[in-house]
Amino acid sequence: MLIKNATFAILILLVSCEVQESKNIYTSPDIPEAFNINFDSNLYTQEELNKITKLLSRILNDDVDINNKINVNFENENISKYIDCGNMNDEIYVDYINRIFGAKLSAIINFETNKSGENFIVTNKDIKYKFMSQETGTRWIFKTNKYKELLVGNPVYDANPYRTCSSKNILEMKIINIFNSSKND
């Protein structure tokens, strides 16, 4: 009887210590069929370009040269403010990655500037983003008006092994507003 009770107690102990399978469920972001952010080419005076450069420097927290590629890092920012990669359960996936593995986001902003008489024609190219899990090295590289699907190595017990990321067009809209405001003054 003592052996039977001991066996039963060990069995209960083993079952109660069994690791429960994770119930993490990934949900892709809602991606519209067509993004609607377009950068227009416009004509600007040197004075307007100087104003645009100052405003860009302010919002990007760095000295900006509109004639060179601008690299922006969002390591200390709220990354999920700028990109959407869906959800893991009820948590924003970008925040989930940052909490578990650490994350960083970088963006490359590129303008094409051509002289036209006394003025300049400025065209903003699509912003190129790189979202990265610091611990695993997993990277999503995408740009304005495009999204990236990535096959992840460990889908955390989820049947969907793909993770999708896209821009929320926040940075794009800030840039468009700066260029538009320089024309309205």
Contact 107, 137 (CB under 8 A): no
pLDDT digits (tens, 9 = 90+) for 16-40: 444 444 577 888 898 766 566 777 7
DSSP string, 27-90: E-----SS----PPPEEE-HHHHHHHHHHHHHHHTS---TTS-EEEE-TTS-GGGTEE--EETT
Considering the entire predicted model, what is its pTM? 0.80
Sheet with 83-84, strands from edge to edge, namely 83-84, 162-167, 147-151
* Orientation angle between helical segments 170-184 and 46-60, nearest 10 degrees: 150
Contact 123, 109 (CB under 8 A): no
> Rounded to whole angstroms, what are the CA distances from 37 to 44, 147, 171, 175, 178?
21, 13, 11, 11, 15
pLDDT digits (tens, 9 = 90+) for 63-83: 999 989 999 998 756 899 999
Contact 134, 110 (CB under 8 A): no
pLDDT digits (tens, 9 = 90+) for 152-171: 766 656 567 888 999 999 99
Structural domain boundaries in the chain: 41-184
